[in-house]
Amino acid sequence: MSEVVATNQTILVVGAGVSGITAAVEAAETGKQVILVEKRPYVGGRITQLYKYFPKLCFPSCGLEINQRRLSAQPGITVLTMAEVTQVSGSEGDYNATIKISPRYVNENCTACGACAEGLEAKFDDDHNYAMSKRKGAYLPYNMAKPERYVIDPAIIGSEEAENAKAACRFDAIDLEMQEQTIEFNAGAIIWATGWRPYDAAKIQPYGYDRFDNVITSVEFERMMDRFGPTGGKILRPGDGKEAKDIAFIQCAGSRDRNHLKHCSRICCMASLKQSTYIGEQYGEDDEAAKGTIYYIDIRSIDRFEDFYRKVQEDPKISFIKSKVASIEQDKEGNPVVNGVDTEGYNRYANTHDLVVLAVGMEPSVDKSMFPVEVVVNEHGFIEADESSGGIFAAGCSADALDVNRAVQSATAAALRAIQVVNRNAAAAEA
């Protein structure tokens, strides 16, 4: 790792999702020095776990690659992965940050050849696939991970597995003695770009996510479509591995609900509209058994997204039922049965599907008490812009539930605010 030299002209960005990368690149392109801290072993955040983007249905990997290129072309940015900010002291224009860097046990010699993983037996939940599959104790977090470097799971350190992984490496890339590091540096401004996490679907008891195998979440459905994902790109029922063709999408699963998330995450309607098009993509337009049903309270698609909604409405494979689903049960064949009342005709329904996808909302990934510095949050836990925050700003989904386009705009705004703070430092130093 290169040595971190920072001053009160430096901007610290925490979280290297699309928002953090954007804020870092925008600031660095104006000549600022940036330190980008990411707790995962790779950059890109949660968009690396999406299959396609609405409304264009392009692959996120494309935009991500452009961002990664912008990132590596910037000598002013130092990227620290497997790193977290543990302490922040000071005030606007003069913060002192302490960062803990966990050992990867793999150095820069790694060519990602995979030889270290070949002979290993122990299996662990694969976080990238929301634990829908297993990975080995030596692993590349996902096929396009940047940095493209393996990680040794700390759970195998001290075991024969770790020694086997080291012995298999021809490039002297595995260092089992690697230790946790702590570094401290000065920064003039800090941007929190720590993003979101999916709401815990198990808390929505009437929907049975924790009881029924064929009830999954929208984030898991994204992983299923990826050919490098847990099902090799096939829509398979977790319960019995059979193809799922008749798929229900349940909107506002735990959102706009005083018992769960009170807020609307804005993206869930668009995410389900997008995911309903995956059915035709997977099975072809002529397969009559392949169909989607969207259960919704109201569809929230604004601006250019409205056209996408209209297009899906015209698709004969997709039907819409205006209803807040009351409950989900399971029949003897393991099929989920969706119950509720259609609020257009006031008819009760009990509809059987192959698979149910819960459109879960986004909540902030960091709870207020877990920030190493005082931040002002709103009633939903997202960071608020507040004068008392001094040189501390929020970007992307740490500030609100946003789609990528709006997250990037928010990140650019945060970069500008941070640049203003460090420029004031520069002006004061010259005076």
Ligand X SMILES: Cc1cc2nc3c(=O)[nH]c(=O)nc-3n(C[C@H](O)[C@H](O)[C@H](O)COP(=O)(O)OP(=O)(O)OC[C@H]3O[C@@H](n4cnc5c(N)ncnc54)[C@H](O)[C@@H]3O)c2cc1C
For the window 189-228, what string marks contact with ligand X as x by the rule CB under 6 A? ----xxxx-x-------------------xx--x------
Beta-carbon neighbour count of residue 177 at 10 Å? Answer: 7
Answer for the pair 128, 220: CB distance below 8 angstroms, yes or no.
Answer: no
Answer for the pair 283, 245: CB distance below 8 angstroms, yes or no.
Answer: yes
Beta-carbon neighbour count of residue 243 at 10 Å? Answer: 15
Compute CA distances 336 → 80, 223, 297, 326, 408, whole Å: 44, 20, 20, 13, 38
Cα–Cα dist 295/169, whole Å:
51
For the window 316-355, what string marks contact with ligand X as x by the rule CB under 6 A? ----------------------------------------
Nearer to ligand X, 151 or 162 (CB): 151
Nearer to ligand X, 14 or 318 (CB): 14
Smallest gap from residue 338 Cβ to ligand X (A): 19
Q: Which of 6, 13, 15, 129 binds ligand X (CB under 6 A)?
A: 15
Q: How many residues interact with ligand X (rule CB under 6 A)?
A: 39
Nearer to ligand X, 219 or 312 (CB): 219
19 sits near ligand X (criterion: CB under 6 A): yes
The identity of residue 415, as a single letter, is A
116 sits near ligand X (criterion: CB under 6 A): no
402 sits near ligand X (criterion: CB under 6 A): yes
Q: What are phi and psi of 404, to 5 degrees?
A: -65, -45
Smallest gap from residue 272 Cβ to ligand X (A): 8
Nearer to ligand X, 229 or 396 (CB): 396
Three-state DSSP class for residue 59: coil
Question: Which residue do the tokens 């954007």 mark?
Answer: 22
Q: Which of 34, 253, 362, 414 binds ligand X (CB under 6 A)?
A: 362
Cα–Cα dist 269/252, whole Å:
8
Nearer to ligand X, 53 or 320 (CB): 53
Q: Which two tokens stand for residue 353?
A: 């599907």
40 sits near ligand X (criterion: CB under 6 A): yes
Q: Which of 10, 33, 45, 383 binds ligand X (CB under 6 A)?
A: 45
The identity of residue 334, as a single letter, is G
Binding to ligand X (CB under 6 A): which residues in 52-71?
53-54
Q: Which of 188, 280, 391, 396 binds ligand X (CB under 6 A)?
A: 396
Cα–Cα dist 33/36, whole Å:
10
10 sits near ligand X (criterion: CB under 6 A): no
State how beta strands 94-101 and 215-217 pair.
unpaired
294 sits near ligand X (criterion: CB under 6 A): no
Q: What is the CA radius of gyration of the chain?
A: 23
Q: Which two tokens stand for residue 383?
A: 């960071």
For the window 364-383, what string marks contact with ligand X as x by the rule CB under 6 A? -xx-----------------
Compute CA distances 384 → 24, 36, 244, 379, whole Å: 20, 21, 42, 10
Cα–Cα dist 107/212, whole Å:
42
Question: Which residue do the tokens 């996902």 mark?
Answer: 142
16 sits near ligand X (criterion: CB under 6 A): yes
Smallest gap from residue 418 Cβ to ligand X (A): 16
For the window 121-160, what string marks contact with ligand X as x by the rule CB under 6 A? ----------------------------------------
The identity of residue 315, as a single letter, is D
List of residues contacting ligand X (CB under 6 A):
14-20, 37-40, 45-47, 50, 53-54, 84, 193-196, 198, 218-219, 222, 267, 271, 274, 362, 365-366, 396-397, 402-405, 407
